[in-house]
Chain A
Amino acid sequence: MSYLEYTVKTTPTGWRKVLYINWPLVILLSAVACVGFLMLYSVAGGRLDTWAEPQMKRFGLGLAAMFVVAMVPIWLWRNLSVLAYLGSLALLVAVELFGTVGMGAQRWIDIGFMRLQPSELMKIALVMVLAAYYDWLPLRKTSHPLWVLMPILLILIPTGLTLIQPDLGTALLLMIGGGLIMFLAGVHWAYFAVVIAAGVGTIFTVFESRGTDWQLLKDYQFRRIDTFLDPSTDPLGAGYHITQAKIAMGSGGWTGRGFMQGTQSRLNFLPEKHTDFIFNTLAEEFGFVGGVSLLVLYVLILLFCIFAALRNRDRFSSLLTLGIGLTFFLYFAVNMSMVMGLAPVVGVPLPMVSYGGSAMLVLMIAFGLVQSAHIHRPR
């Protein structure tokens, strides 16, 4: 069914929309954010104003943004998808030209009250534009090569721009996220087989390029990969971080060392303890029980997205909700794999928990879209 077919009468209007919001999802998101506040308070050594308070303000802002986005009918967002995509693309180009250099990469634009990371925006814009594309595309053309090429370009252009920042983590998330939306939209299996084969080939080529003039990754990225493959090769250099992170996590045991008692984070052995490695502090202080609890919250949010998508007969809404759930999943899955030593350290934050402005805000807007799709679903 498409929006043109269902009667607008069945869709809630005005303030009644508030009743149709997916409240359990709001509660789950708030719970995760609270875990974040707690951990930011802990890693700051019991100080609220260092990280926890700004994070709370951002969450409040995000919550407001989510509600605003949720109130706007989903078809309006669908119509704005291409604009959002083109806008994000423009910002990605802008960051390349005017961005602030931080951690060896151009990632931010300072817009006064916060630092905007356009690649974060792009994650959502890409999901939107792909969902809109497959909503627009007649079903039988889905696997037609020409119509497959189109979304591939939509994915690769921002991926390429992110890669040259360089931000390998976000680039990979964009590519995998986009590819999986194509998979959900029903693109033929064979394409994925080809892409996987090509991916393996690419990885091989990337490694081959090491040390040559056309080196495809920065040295620090190669080192991260080396360190990931064998942290012991560089126990005091790059491998130090991942080794300390694993010690923090492992020393938590069943129930952890207690709130604010994690020695690894409190004594600064743990690197980036308020951003990428915040999960290790949680695991150290609250142990296996704490870590699994957060994982369960995440999985519940994911499941809510999947069930909301399955209940929604609108193709755009369904694909959008699945795509956003997927993006959310990729965030926490990559971050957790990274801090547990299962993946190279690629700089992906833990969603809703890591300290950081734009990631949190963008995710809340994305869940606003999920809510909008839910509220305005065809009935």
Chain B
Amino acid sequence: MRRTPKESSDSWRRISRRALLLGGAQLGFAGMLGLRMHHMQVDQADEFRLLAEENRINIRLIPPSRGRIFDRNGRIVAENTPTYRITIVREDAGDVEDVIAKLSALVELDEDELNRALAEMRRSPPFLPVTVADRVSWDSISRVAVNAPALPGVTPEVGLSRFYPDHGNFAHVVGYVGPVSERDLARYEDPEPVLHIPRFQIGKVGVEAKYEEQLRGKAGAKRVEVNAVGRVMRELDRREGDNGADIQLTIDADLQDYVQARLGHESASCVVMDVEKGDLLAIASAPSFDPNKFVRGISVADYSILRDNDHRPLASKTVQDAYPPGSTFKMVTALAALEAGVLSPDDTVWCPGHLEVGSRRFHCWKRAGHGHLNLEQALQQSCDVFFYDVAMKVGIDRIADVGRRLGLGIAPDVPMSATTSGIMPDKDWKQRERGKSWLIGDTVNASIGQGFVLTSPLQLAIMTARIATGRAVHPRLVKTIDGVETELVGGQELDINPNHLRWVRKGMSSVMNTVRGTGYRSRVVAEGYELAGKSGTAQVRNRVVSNEDVPWIERDHALFVGFGPVHAPRIAVSVVVEHGGGGSSAGAPILRDVALQALYGGTPPLDAYPSSDHDKIKELQERLDRERRERAEQARGRA
């Protein structure tokens, strides 16, 4: 087809006009794209850079290794031991079922755990290791390691877990650790991220719980680069954490072992305290339990055995149980009377075997009466009427005041769980707590440590230490943290006349070293090792029949406190045997054995005991030695 030149040039002009128009629009669009790029890459660059970094960088925590716990001589009582587990990486394993079949021929695999692991494997990305067996033995791990070429994707991994080499002997002091629970997390306002690590262990009770922060340390962190599906590509940097601080206890582990063995199967507790610094050398509660079971997560069956035992192995009796102190309280009554000036050492009281207060008759434990007694004799023979009489003269408020100066009614500051303050009652206390006014009969009861008075075995030891030294001794359980000695608290002179304390100590010495003393049968004859003490028997039920004729649970608690050596006190000891009967018969022998063990720093010579006791003591020493050896061997075997 032909076109006129005019037509052609028209066509060309129209095309060029519209082409320029469209070209302009295209350029405009391109310019807009450039502006958009500028907006995103220059104006908003920082925001996007941040988002990109958030995408690729993950922070992974490095759990710190928990501080260890030692006794005062450096013997380890809580350590971290390696535990082994077997993990499978799905993408490396290839045929997972085949690998697991081969693995189960080498290692016993738990059905439930395996199913859980398989479910976890299906959910998680293929490159993440999944644990198929936890806490496997070294033998199993070795078998897996040897057969590694036949087990693609299977890796034996090592972790650290808490281990208590002594098993039971420190359970109540050191406590135990366990996996972090929801309740633990709820306790903290802003829980540290490290607590969210699976299998991370924190202190649940005892020193483990009270010094959790120091023992735990600070978690380290590493920044890793991950790709879109979460696979770690490389480590960018790492900040090492601080491992937990080691803690040294004031406890003498050998003494603690001895005390625990000496208490045996009784439901009993015993505290040995250094009177100089207040260091707790032994603080034992029997029977005990194996804290290692709690670390792993105790089975329901094991737990119910512990819970249903009437000797209450889980209870930390030295600090969390409060008992009526019985006659061990008589020193407080005596000191209050001396301080108030209503009693002097030569004053005598006549004990006819009972005392009438109003219309009520209060009996002495010796129905026949003691006759005329001064303070020393009253303590020696533990006459009740003497203390009824002086208590009524001095009044409960002044008794309570002296009691508090000796540490009663105040929770001792020790890092153990559920520490009780006991009760040191006075008139205000009864009005406040019971809504009733104080009666004279309450004073009479309190004067011999019955009625409302309640004390823990640790408080009794503190009281004894303070009487022995005349100073405000405070208990100390932790000697050093991370090698730094903990501060000593207290130790200043008590606000009690030293002469009064001396008279009371003389009475306590008579208890053990004079023929009529209630503790005479448990005396020490070695020169320079003599003890002073005081028996106590706390009534569980009001009754007239003797202890042997009632069921165990209704028998009296046997208490005994003492210090030694009598002329230069080094240690104070308290013993409580629940439902053990009389303090002088059930408490005193334990106190003597424990005190001698502590004073001699090992098994005391037989010469320290009266010759009539030698056969019995020799037999006891041999039995305890054997038991401790067996227990130590057992512990090693389980480790």
Interface residues of A (CB under 8 A from B): 1-2, 4-5, 136, 138-139, 180, 183-186, 244, 246-254, 263-264, 267-269, 283, 287-288, 291-292, 295, 298-299, 302-303, 306, 309-310, 313, 315, 318-319, 322, 326, 329, 333, 336-337, 340, 342
Stretch in B36-44, B440-448, B472-480 with 4+ CB within 8 Å of A: B36-44
Instruction: Check A291–B41 contact: CB distance below 8 A.
Output: yes
In the assembled complex, B22 has its CB within 8 A of some CB on chain A: yes
- Assembly CA distance A184 to B23 (angstroms): 11
For B52, the chain A residues whose CB sits under 8 A away are 247-248, 251, 263-264, 269
Instruction: Check B11–A186 contact: CB distance below 8 A.
Output: yes
Instruction: Check B8–A251 contact: CB distance below 8 A.
Output: no
In the assembled complex, B16 has its CB within 8 A of some CB on chain A: yes
For A336, the chain B residues whose CB sits under 8 A away are 33
Instruction: Check A184–B19 contact: CB distance below 8 A.
Output: yes
For B51, the chain A residues whose CB sits under 8 A away are 247, 250-251
Cβ < 8 Å to A, chain B residues 140-174: none
In the assembled complex, B357 has its CB within 8 A of some CB on chain A: no
Instruction: Check A249–B41 contact: CB distance below 8 A.
Output: yes
Instruction: Check B30–A252 contact: CB distance below 8 A.
Output: no
Count of CB-CB pairs between chains A and B under 8 Å: 146
Say what secondary structure dominates the interface of chain B: helix
Nearest Cβ in chain A — how far from B3, in angstroms? 6
- Assembly CA distance A333 to B41 (angstroms): 18
Instruction: Check A251–B228 contact: CB distance below 8 A.
Output: no
For B16, the chain A residues whose CB sits under 8 A away are 310
Q: Which of B11, B20, B225 gathers the greatest number of chain A CB atoms within 10 Å?
A: B11
Instruction: Check A267–B8 contact: CB distance below 8 A.
Output: no
In the assembled complex, B497 has its CB within 8 A of some CB on chain A: no
**Residues of B within 8 A of A (CB-CB), count:** 45
Please list the 10 inter-chain residue pairs (A to B) with the smallest Cβ-Cβ separation, ordered nearest first: A250-B48, A251-B52, A267-B227, A268-B228, A288-B41, A253-B45, A251-B48, A186-B14, A251-B49, A250-B40
Instruction: Check A292–B11 contact: CB distance below 8 A.
Output: no
- Assembly CA distance A264 to B40 (angstroms): 15
In the assembled complex, B634 has its CB within 8 A of some CB on chain A: no
Instruction: Check B18–A283 contact: CB distance below 8 A.
Output: no
CB < 8 Å neighbour of B42 from A183, A254, A267, A329: A254
Nearest Cβ in chain B — how far from A90, in angstroms? 28
- Assembly CA distance A313 to B48 (angstroms): 50
CB < 8 Å neighbour of A306 from B11, B23, B34, B40: B23
CB < 8 Å neighbour of B27 from A184, A186, A299, A315: A299
Q: Can you sample 24 A-B contacts with CB below 8 Å? A: A1-B8, A2-B1, A2-B2, A2-B3, A184-B19, A186-B11, A247-B48, A250-B44, A250-B47, A251-B51, A253-B42, A253-B45, A267-B225, A269-B52, A269-B56, A283-B37, A283-B41, A291-B37, A295-B34, A302-B23, A306-B20, A310-B20, A322-B15, A340-B33
Nearest Cβ in chain A — how far from B602, in angstroms? 66
Instruction: Check A267–B37 contact: CB distance below 8 A.
Output: no
For B237, the chain A residues whose CB sits under 8 A away are none
Instruction: Check B42–A295 contact: CB distance below 8 A.
Output: no
- Assembly CA distance A180 to B8 (angstroms): 21
Instruction: Check B48–A295 contact: CB distance below 8 A.
Output: no
For B188, the chain A residues whose CB sits under 8 A away are none
Residue interface mask B216-234, A partner, CB < 8 A = 1? 0000000001111100010
For B48, the chain A residues whose CB sits under 8 A away are 246-247, 249-251
- Complex: chain B residue closest to A284, CB-CB: B52
For B347, the chain A residues whose CB sits under 8 A away are none
Instruction: Check A250–B228 contact: CB distance below 8 A.
Output: no
Beyond the given pairs A263-B52, A333-B33, 12 more chain A to chain B contacts, judged by CB atoms under 8 angstroms and listed by A's residue number, are A184-B19, A249-B40, A250-B45, A250-B49, A251-B49, A252-B45, A263-B55, A263-B225, A267-B56, A269-B227, A287-B41, A340-B36
Instruction: Check A340–B227 contact: CB distance below 8 A.
Output: no
Cβ < 8 Å to A, chain B residues 115-135: none
For A263, the chain B residues whose CB sits under 8 A away are 52-53, 55-56, 225
For A184, the chain B residues whose CB sits under 8 A away are 15, 18-19, 22
For A306, the chain B residues whose CB sits under 8 A away are 19-20, 23
CB < 8 Å neighbour of B10 from A139, A254, A310, A319: A139
Instruction: Check A267–B226 contact: CB distance below 8 A.
Output: yes
For B226, the chain A residues whose CB sits under 8 A away are 267
- Assembly CA distance A139 to B226 (angstroms): 64
- Assembly CA distance A2 to B4 (angstroms): 10
- Assembly CA distance A75 to B139 (angstroms): 87
- Assembly CA distance A306 to B25 (angstroms): 12
- Assembly CA distance A268 to B225 (angstroms): 12
- Complex: chain B residue closest to A319, CB-CB: B15
For B19, the chain A residues whose CB sits under 8 A away are 184, 306, 309-310, 318, 322
- Assembly CA distance A1 to B33 (angstroms): 38
Q: Which of A180, A269, A309 gathers the greatest number of chain B CB atoms within 10 Å?
A: A269
In the assembled complex, B29 has its CB within 8 A of some CB on chain A: yes
- Complex: chain B residue closest to A247, CB-CB: B51
Given contacts A248-B52, A254-B42, A336-B33, contact A302 B26 (CB under 8 A): yes
- Assembly CA distance A244 to B48 (angstroms): 10
Instruction: Check B42–A268 contact: CB distance below 8 A.
Output: no
Given contacts A2-B8, A180-B22, contact A318 B40 (CB under 8 A): no
For A267, the chain B residues whose CB sits under 8 A away are 55-56, 225-228, 233
- Assembly CA distance A299 to B12 (angstroms): 23
CB < 8 Å neighbour of A288 from B7, B27, B38: B38
Nearest Cβ in chain A — how far from B490, in angstroms? 61
CB < 8 Å neighbour of A268 from B15, B18, B229: B229
For A283, the chain B residues whose CB sits under 8 A away are 37, 41
- Assembly CA distance A27 to B227 (angstroms): 38
Given contacts A1-B8, A138-B1, A333-B29, contact A288 B228 (CB under 8 A): no
Q: Which of A263, A340, A342 gathers the greatest number of chain B CB atoms within 10 Å?
A: A263
Given contacts A180-B22, A333-B30, contact A139 B36 (CB under 8 A): no
Instruction: Check B37–A292 contact: CB distance below 8 A.
Output: yes
For B14, the chain A residues whose CB sits under 8 A away are 186
- Assembly CA distance A136 to B2 (angstroms): 10
- Assembly CA distance A264 to B51 (angstroms): 10
Instruction: Check A186–B15 contact: CB distance below 8 A.
Output: yes
For B18, the chain A residues whose CB sits under 8 A away are 183-184, 186
- Assembly CA distance A180 to B21 (angstroms): 11
Given contacts A2-B3, A299-B30, contact A139 B11 (CB under 8 A): yes
Instruction: Check B15–A185 contact: CB distance below 8 A.
Output: yes
For B29, the chain A residues whose CB sits under 8 A away are 329, 333
For A254, the chain B residues whose CB sits under 8 A away are 41-42, 45
Instruction: Check A313–B12 contact: CB distance below 8 A.
Output: yes
Nearest Cβ in chain B — how far from A244, in angstroms? 8
- Complex: chain B residue closest to A315, CB-CB: B11
Instruction: Check A264–B55 contact: CB distance below 8 A.
Output: yes
Instruction: Check B225–A340 contact: CB distance below 8 A.
Output: no
CB < 8 Å neighbour of A337 from B5, B33, B41: B33
- Complex: chain B residue closest to A313, CB-CB: B12
- Assembly CA distance A138 to B8 (angstroms): 10
For A183, the chain B residues whose CB sits under 8 A away are 18, 22
For A185, the chain B residues whose CB sits under 8 A away are 15
- Assembly CA distance A5 to B5 (angstroms): 10
For A264, the chain B residues whose CB sits under 8 A away are 52, 55-56
Nearest Cβ in chain A — how far from B52, in angstroms? 4
For B47, the chain A residues whose CB sits under 8 A away are 250
- Assembly CA distance A253 to B40 (angstroms): 8
For A291, the chain B residues whose CB sits under 8 A away are 37, 41
- Complex: chain A residue closest to B19, CB-CB: A322
Instruction: Check B23–A303 contact: CB distance below 8 A.
Output: yes
- Complex: chain B residue closest to A248, CB-CB: B52
For B229, the chain A residues whose CB sits under 8 A away are 268
- Complex: chain B residue closest to A299, CB-CB: B30
For A248, the chain B residues whose CB sits under 8 A away are 52
For A139, the chain B residues whose CB sits under 8 A away are 3, 7, 10-11
For B8, the chain A residues whose CB sits under 8 A away are 1-2, 313, 315
For A186, the chain B residues whose CB sits under 8 A away are 11, 14-15, 18
For A252, the chain B residues whose CB sits under 8 A away are 41, 45
